[in-house]
Amino acid sequence: MRVEGDGIRNWQPLLERLRHVPHVTAASPGLYEQVLVARGARDGGALIEGILPDQELTVSELLKTATPGSLQELQPQPQPASQLNAELPPILLGKDLAETVGATVGDRVTLISPQGEMTPYGVIPKWVPFRLAGIFHSGFYQYDAQMGFMRLADAQRLFGEPDLLSVISFKVDNLDRAPQIARDIEQEAGKGFQTNNWMEENRELFKALKLEQYVTFIIIALIVIVAALNILIALTMMVMEKTRDIAVMMSFGVEPAQVRRIFLVQGLLISLIGTVVGLVLGYFAAWAGGHYHFIHLSAEVYSIDTLPFAPRVLDGVIVSAVSIGISLLATLYPSYAASRVLPAEALRYE
Q: pLDDT tens, 26-44?
A: 999 999 989 999 998 899 9
Task: Please give the pLDDT value at position 172.
Answer: 94
State how beta strands 42-51 and 122-136 pair: unpaired
> Model-level pTM?
0.71
Kindly state the greatest CA–CA separation across the chain. 113
66-70, 144-148, 304-308: the lowest-pLDDT one: 304-308
Enumerate residues 6+ apart whose C-beta is below 8 A from 115.
Answer: 33, 126, 158, 159, 160, 161
15-19, 64-68, 246-250, 294-298: the lowest-pLDDT one: 294-298
Query: Which secondary-structure segment (H or E) carries 108?
Result: strand 108-119
Task: Please give the pLDDT value at position 306.
Answer: 81
User: 274, exposed or middle or buried, with CB in 10 Å at 0-12, 13-18, 19+?
Assistant: middle
- Quick one: average pLDDT of 215-229? 85
173-177, 193-197, 202-206: the lowest-pLDDT one: 202-206
pLDDT over threshold 60, residue 167:
yes
pLDDT over threshold 90, residue 56:
yes
Cα distance between residue 278 and residue 283, in whole Å:
8
93 has which bridge partners? 135, 148
Winning range, highest mean pLDDT, from 92-106, 197-211, 226-240: 92-106
Task: Please give the pLDDT value at position 231.
Answer: 82
Task: Please give the pLDDT value at position 270.
Answer: 87
- Quick one: average pLDDT of 143-163? 88
In order, the DSSP letters of 199-264 are: HHHTHHHHHHHHHHHHHHHHHHHHHHHHHHHHHHHHHHHHHHHTHHHHHHHHHTT--HHHHHHHHH
pLDDT over threshold 90, residue 251:
no
pLDDT band, very low/low/confident/very high, at 82 (cuts 50, 70, 90): very low
pLDDT band, very low/low/confident/very high, at 349 (cuts 50, 70, 90): low
Say what angle helices 256-292 and 203-241 make with each other, to 10 degrees: 140
Task: Please give the pLDDT value at position 81.
Answer: 46
Mean pLDDT, all residues of the chain: 85
pLDDT over threshold 50, residue 84:
no
Nearest to 154 by CA among 37, 27, 49, 12: 49
- Quick one: average pLDDT of 159-184? 89
- When comparing pLDDT for 83 and 328, which is higher? 328
- When comparing pLDDT for 322 and 25, which is higher? 25
Cα distance between residue 204 and residue 212, in whole Å:
12
